[in-house]
Amino acid sequence: MKYSNEISKRRSFAIISHPDAGKTTLTEKLLLFGGAIQTAGAVKSNKIKKHATSDFMEIERQRGISVATSVMSFEYKGILINLLDTPGHKDFAEDTYRTLTAVDSVILVIDSVNGVEAQTRRLMEVCRMRDTPVIVFVNKMDRDGKNRFDLLEEIEKELKLQLHPMTWPINSGKEFKGVYNLDEKSLVLFTANTKGVDEDVVKINDLSDTLLDNKLGERDASILREDVELVDGVHGDLNVADYLAGKVAPVFFGSAVNNFGVKEMLDTFIHIAPTPRSRETTVRTLDVNEDKFSGFIFKIHANLDPKHRDRIAFLRVCSGKFERNKYFHHVRLDKDVRFSNPYTFLARDKDVIEEAYPGDVVGLFDTGNFKIGDTLTEGEDFYFTGIPSFSPEIFKEVVNKDPMKTKQLEKGLLQLTDEGVAQLFTQFGGNKKIIGCVGELQFEVIQYRLLQEYSASVEFRAQAYYKACWITSKDPKKLEDFTRFKSSNIATDKDGHLVYLAQSEWFLNTERTNNPDIEFHFTSEIHKEMV
C-alpha cells in the first residue's frame, strides 16, 4: 500500500472511434487543457498545415490518419493523465485492441452526422469483453446531424450500451447554440471558432428562469425545458459504480474542432474515471497495491525518431515502482535487465524519467529483447493474460527490388513485424519471405516505412493462403513427417516456430482430420504458455 497516494493520482485511458470521427482532434484539445501543447494541429481535407501532435509517423501526416497508437502524459488539476490515442482504421485494429489491455477506461468518440459505424461496434465488443468503463463524446454537433434522441437510441441499440447524458445539446448544425450541463445546472453557450471560456457559462439553477429565454430565445428555451424534464425523468443522477462496472456510459455533446464541450467531459472524467486496477496473470490476480514492481509490453515501435534508428517498447506499469537503472526480471528471457534512459511521452517529444507507478506508460529503449506481451517483474515468473494476437487474413510474398539492400530489408522486416502490425513467415527450407496482415493498408504502410526508414524497396505479390496455423505435436516424428510431406505449405515464424499455411478452410479441415496427432493453433500464444 506504500504507493497508494501515487496510484490515486493517475488515470489511464484510450480514445477510440471509427476513422474521421474526430478522435485525434479531441486528443489535442485535451492536451491543450492540460497545458501540454500551446497550439493544436489542423488536419483538413488531407492538406496538413500543422500536423496533429499525436500523429508522429510521416505516412500519418501525409494521409491524415492515425496508424499507430500514440502515448501522451499530461497533468490536469493535480491528476496525472496517461492518454493513448489509437488508430481508427480497421486495418490497424490489432494495435488498438492491444492498447485497450493497457488502459483502465475509454473515451468513445461518435460522429453525430454518421452515428454508429462498423469500427465503433468492433471496438466496443473488445471493451465489453473486459467490462472497460466507457465515456461517450458525441462530436461534430456544429454540423447538421441526426436527431439527438434518435442518435442516443441508435448508440444504445447498436452498441448494447446503457447511456446516461451528462450534457444536453441545444440544436445542431448552424443552429447549434451550446449545451446544458445536467449535473452542474449550467448553460454553456457556443460560438463557432472560439474556445469555450468561463464567460460563456451561465448558471441556471431553475430552468423556468427567464434568463434561459433571453439567452436562447423562447422556442429553444421551451424545447430545452421539455428535453431536460424527459432526460432527468428517465436517467436521474449518474450511478458511478455502474459506470465503473462498465454497465452505464456517461454521454457528453460537443465539437472537438471548436474545443466545445471538451472541458465538461474532462472535468467529469478526472472525478469518476477509475484509478489503475488489479490485473489477472497466469499465476494469480495481481493486486495493484502490491509493493513489488510488475509491468508488461503492449506495443513496440521502431524508428520513433528515424534519425536515431531507435526502437521503443511501451511498458504499462501494473504494480510497485519502476525505477531508472534498477534491475528487473525479464520473464521470457529469464534474465535481469535495467534501463538507463526510460521515457515518458508527449507524442514525439520524450523526457527521461526517474520513476513510474501503476497506470503509467514508460518507453524503454530496446535492442531487440522485447516482444509484445513480455513481462518485467521484481523476480516473480508470470505473464499478464488477455493480450490479444491474431491470425493473419491476407498473405503476400516480399519481393526485393534492390538486391544491394538485402541486409537493410531483413532488418526492416524484423523490426517492423516486431511492432505487432504484421507477422513474418519464411518458407520452410527456403528464403521466401511472406508477410501476413489483417488489413490491406498495413502492406502500404510497411512498404512505405521500409523505403523511408531502411532504404529498402519492395513490392508485394499476393499469396493464395486462407489462414496461418501454428503446429505442435507430442510426437516429434509425426511433426517431422507432416512438415516434410507438406513442405510447400510450411513456414517458420520469426521465432522459428512451425506454421502451416492453409489454402482454404476445406484444406485446413482435411489436414486436421487426417493428422490427429498434429495440433493446429490459430495464435502463436501457445508457445508462450509452453515456456
Considering only 64-73, 140-149, 291-300, which range has the smallest mean pLDDT?
A: 64-73
Strands 79-85 and 70-76: antiparallel
Which comes out higher in pLDDT, residue 323 or 49? 323
**Could you tell me the pLDDT band of residue 141, with boundaries at 50, 70 and 90?**
very high
Q: What is the pTM of this model?
A: 0.76
**pLDDT at 251 exceeding the cut of 90:** yes
**pLDDT at 44 exceeding the cut of 50:** no
**pLDDT at 489 exceeding the cut of 50:** yes
Separation of CA 24 from chain center:
12
Burial of residue 229 (number of CB atoms within 10 Å: 0-12, 13-18, 19+): exposed
pLDDT at residue number 38 = 57
Mean of per-residue pLDDT scores for the chain: 83
**Could you tell me the pLDDT band of residue 416, with boundaries at 50, 70 and 90?**
confident
Longest CA pairwise span in the chain (Å) = 87
**pLDDT at 92 exceeding the cut of 60:** no
- The C-alpha angle with vertex 288 and arms to 285 and 291, in degrees rounded to 5, equals 105
pLDDT at residue number 337 = 94
Average pLDDT score over residue span 398-415: 90
- The C-alpha angle with vertex 416 and arms to 341 and 25, in degrees rounded to 5, equals 75
**pLDDT at 359 exceeding the cut of 60:** yes
Report the SS3 class of residue 320. coil
Considering only 301-310, 398-407, 455-464, which range has the smallest mean pLDDT?
A: 301-310
Which residues have CB under 8 Å from 448's CB, separation 6+? 58, 59
Please give the Cα distance from 309 to 6 (Å, whole number).
34
Q: Report which DSSP code applies to 438.
A: S
Q: Residues 306, 61: contact at Cβ < 8 Å?
A: no
**pLDDT at 516 exceeding the cut of 50:** yes
Highest mean pLDDT out of 302-306, 450-454, 463-467: 463-467
Please give the Cα distance from 378 to 248 (Å, whole number).
37
What is the crossing angle of helices 93-100 and 118-129, to 10°?
30
- The C-alpha angle with vertex 216 and arms to 215 and 220, in degrees rounded to 5, equals 160
Q: Residues 165, 231: contact at Cβ < 8 Å?
A: yes
Measured in residues, the chain has a length of 531
pLDDT at residue number 309 = 56
pLDDT at residue number 101 = 85
Q: Which residue's entry shows cell 466496443?
A: 124
Task: Please name each of the domains of the chain with its CATH number.
Answer: 4-272 (3.40.50.300), 279-377 (3.40.50.300), 394-530 (3.30.70.3280)
Average pLDDT score over residue span 126-131: 81
Nearest CA among 275, 277, 281 for reference residue 296: 281
**Could you tell me the pLDDT band of residue 463, with boundaries at 50, 70 and 90?**
very high
Please give the Cα distance from 13 to 503 (Å, whole number).
40
pLDDT at residue number 91 = 47
pLDDT at residue number 415 = 79
Which comes out higher in pLDDT, residue 389 or 467? 467
Q: Which long-range contacts (CB under 8 A, 24 or more apart) does 285-291 make?
A: 286/318, 286/319, 286/382, 286/384, 287/319, 288/7, 288/318, 288/319, 288/358, 289/1, 289/3, 289/4, 289/7, 289/319, 290/319, 290/320, 291/1, 291/2, 291/3, 291/319, 291/320
Considering only 7-16, 82-91, 157-166, which range has the smallest mean pLDDT?
A: 82-91
- H-type alpha helices, 84-217: 93-100, 118-129, 148-159, 210-216
pLDDT at residue number 433 = 93
Q: Which residue's entry shows cell 436527431?
A: 147
pLDDT at residue number 50 = 39
Please give the Cα distance from 221 to 291 (Å, whole number).
55
Nearest CA among 84, 470, 111 for reference residue 314: 84
Please give the Cα distance from 395 to 443 (Å, whole number).
10
Q: Which residue's entry shows cell 502490425?
A: 421
**pLDDT at 319 exceeding the cut of 90:** yes
Q: Report which DSSP code applies to 495.
A: T
Burial of residue 345 (number of CB atoms within 10 Å: 0-12, 13-18, 19+): buried
Please give the Cα distance from 519 to 531 (Å, whole number).
17
Highest mean pLDDT out of 207-216, 362-371, 505-514: 505-514
Q: How far is CA 15 from CA 418, 457, 486, in A?
A: 24, 34, 45
Count how many Cα atoms sit within 13 Å of the Cα of residue 216 in the half-sphere of its side chain: 30
Residues facing residue 180 across a β-bridge: 168, 187
**Could you tell me the pLDDT band of residue 93, with boundaries at 50, 70 and 90?**
low
Count how many Cα atoms sit within 13 Å of the Cα of residue 180 in the half-sphere of its side chain: 23
Please give the Cα distance from 145 to 110 (Å, whole number).
11
The sheet carrying 519-521 orders its strands as 458-463, 394-400, 433-437, 423-427, 490-493, 498-502, 467-472, 519-521
**pLDDT at 62 exceeding the cut of 80:** no
Q: Which residue's entry shows cell 491543450?
A: 32
**Could you tell me the pLDDT band of residue 25, with boundaries at 50, 70 and 90?**
confident
Please give the Cα distance from 500 to 415 (Å, whole number).
23
Please give the Cα distance from 25 to 28 (Å, whole number).
5
**pLDDT at 311 exceeding the cut of 80:** no
pLDDT at residue number 43 = 32
Predicted confidence (pLDDT) per residue in 257-304, tens digit: 888 999 999 999 999 999 999 998 999 999 999 999 999 998 887 655
Count how many Cα atoms sit within 13 Å of the Cα of residue 383 in the half-sphere of its side chain: 20
SS3 content of the chain, % helix, strand, coil (to 5): 30, 30, 40
Q: What Rg, from alpha-carbon coordinates, does the chain have?
A: 25
Please give the Cα distance from 141 to 251 (Å, whole number).
13
**Could you tell me the pLDDT band of residue 48, with boundaries at 50, 70 and 90?**
very low
**pLDDT at 53 exceeding the cut of 60:** no
| Share of residues in the chain with pLDDT > 70 (%) | 85
**Could you tell me the pLDDT band of residue 350, with boundaries at 50, 70 and 90?**
low
Residue type, 456: A
Q: How far is CA 372 from CA 99, 391, 461, in A?
A: 11, 15, 27
Report the SS3 class of residue 90. helix
